[in-house]
């Protein structure tokens, strides 16, 4: 719709009363590998559009969301033909037992960005705090001190994350915290040279605190550092976990941030 466009509403009603409300909802851009966290009150609605960096012809696009308050919400993913806006394909939504929702857009030459755009709609049934991200198969998800990730691993896939250390904080320890909710995982940490610095395992239903100090980082004290997680149990097809990364000096801020995000019920579910 263009600015100053006229919109007409038609209502057909026989012997009834109704109330008509209209309002605009801004569409936020969801970039590859970047998380968005937002608060919705009951019946609130928010809409995202996928950034043009995604390539639906070559890559599987995965859109994941999780409500940190564990309250019900609705998620819709629409594939819309630019030339025929009324022609909408709804991608299937899968739910898991920890309250998350996920949609996959499989590679298809008929669903390219030249002719289509992708819209993600959230509607809150109760007040909630929702985290959403969209990524391709090889995306590296960016982390910072204010991101608490809820994620899953399937079969032989891997999930990779990155954290950027600037020069002012080059002497600080970088801490990755991974907590298994279900399943066990292997991890590998590396710099931009992709040479592994640390390897290890996160046992099922335990939390692993991985400290990458400046001596382990050798000459590369600042810059981007990556952690990749792999499913370590061949008998278990999926693993569920939380992930957070932060600098040592921000530990107390991270603790306070978690308290603000997580409800008492969710803490009992995942931490005990």
State which H helix or E strand residue 269 sits in: helix 264-271
* Token pair recorded at residue 45: 């609605």
Beta strands in the chain (DSSP E): 27-30, 36-40, 45-50, 61-67, 73-81, 88-91, 93-95, 100-105, 116-124, 128-135, 140-142, 149-154, 158-165, 174-182, 185-190, 196-202, 207-212, 223-231, 238-247
Which pLDDT does position 52 carry in this prediction? Answer: 81
Which pLDDT does position 5 carry in this prediction? Answer: 64
Helix (H, G, I), strand (E, B) or coil at 152: strand
Cβ neighbours around 105 below 10 Å, total: 23
Contact predicate 62/54, CB 8 Å: no
Calculate mean pLDDT across residues 189-204. Answer: 90
What would the pLDDT profile of 67-117 be if each residue is shown by its tens digit? Answer: 878 889 999 999 998 888 888 999 999 987 567 899 988 888 777 767 888
* Alpha carbon distance, N-terminus to C-terminus of the chain: 50
* Token pair recorded at residue 197: 């610095």
pLDDT at 260 over 80: no
Q: Which residue has the tokens 């289509």?
A: 116
Which pLDDT does position 15 carry in this prediction? Answer: 78
State the Cα–Cα distance between residues 80 and 90, nearest whole angstrom.
9
What would the pLDDT profile of 30-64 be if each residue is shown by its tens digit? Answer: 998 888 888 999 999 999 999 887 776 778 888 99
pLDDT at 206 over 80: yes
Contact predicate 221/165, CB 8 Å: yes
What would the pLDDT profile of 7-33 be if each residue is shown by its tens digit? Answer: 777 777 777 777 766 656 678 999 988
| Conformational region of residue 181, where left means phi above 0, alpha means psi within -120 to 50, and beta covers everything else | alpha
Instruction: Catalogue all structural domains in the chain, each as residue range(s) with its CATH number.
Output: 27-135 (2.60.120.380), 140-271 (2.60.120.380)
Q: What proportion of the chain, given as a percentage, has pLDDT over 70?
A: 88
State which H helix or E strand residue 254 sits in: helix 251-261
pLDDT category at 267 given cuts 50, 70, 90 is very low
What is the secondary structure of 76-121 as a DSSP string? EEEEEESS-TT-EEEEPEEE-TTSEEEEEE---GGG-TTTEEEEEE
Mean pLDDT for all residues in the chain: 83
pLDDT category at 181 given cuts 50, 70, 90 is confident
Calculate mean pLDDT across residues 182-207. Answer: 91
State the Cα–Cα distance between residues 111 and 118, nearest whole angstrom.
9
pLDDT at 264 over 90: no
Best-predicted range by mean pLDDT (7-11, 235-239, 246-250):
246-250
pLDDT at 221 over 70: no
What would the pLDDT profile of 149-169 be if each residue is shown by its tens digit? Answer: 888 887 777 899 999 998 888
């Amino acid at each position: 719709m263009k600015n100053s466009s006229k919109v007409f509403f038609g209502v057909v009603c026989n012997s009834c009363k109704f109330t008509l409300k209209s309002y605009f909802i801004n569409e936020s851009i969801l970039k590859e590998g970047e998380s968005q966290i937002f608060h919705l009150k009951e019946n609130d609605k928010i809409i995202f559009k996928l950034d043009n960096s995604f390539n639906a012809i070559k890559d599987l696009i995965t859109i994941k969301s999780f409500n940190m308050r564990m309250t019900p919400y609705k998620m819709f993913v629409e594939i819309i033909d630019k030339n025929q806006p009324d022609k909408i394909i709804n991608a299937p939504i899968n739910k898991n037992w920890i309250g998350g929702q996920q949609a996959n857009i499989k590679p298809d030459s008929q669903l390219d960005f030249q002719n289509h755009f992708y819209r993600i709609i959230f509607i809150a049934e109760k007040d909630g705090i929702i985290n959403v991200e969209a990524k391709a198969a090889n995306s590296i998800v960016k982390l910072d001190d204010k991101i608490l990730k809820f994620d899953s691993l399937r079969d032989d896939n891997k999930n990779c994350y990155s954290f950027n250390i600037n020069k002012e904080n080059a002497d600080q320890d970088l801490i990755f915290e991974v907590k298994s909710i279900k399943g066990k995982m292997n991890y590998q940490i590396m710099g931009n040279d992709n040479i592994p610095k640390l390897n290890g395992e996160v046992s099922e239903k335990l939390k692993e605190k991985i400290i990458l100090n400046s001596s382990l980082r050798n000459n590369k004290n600042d810059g981007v550092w990556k952690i990749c997680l792999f499913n370590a149990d061949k008998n278990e097809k999926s693993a569920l976990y939380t992930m957070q990364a932060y600098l040592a000096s921000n530990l107390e801020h991270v603790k306070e941030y978690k308290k603000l995000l997580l409800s008492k019920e969710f803490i009992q579910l995942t931490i005990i």
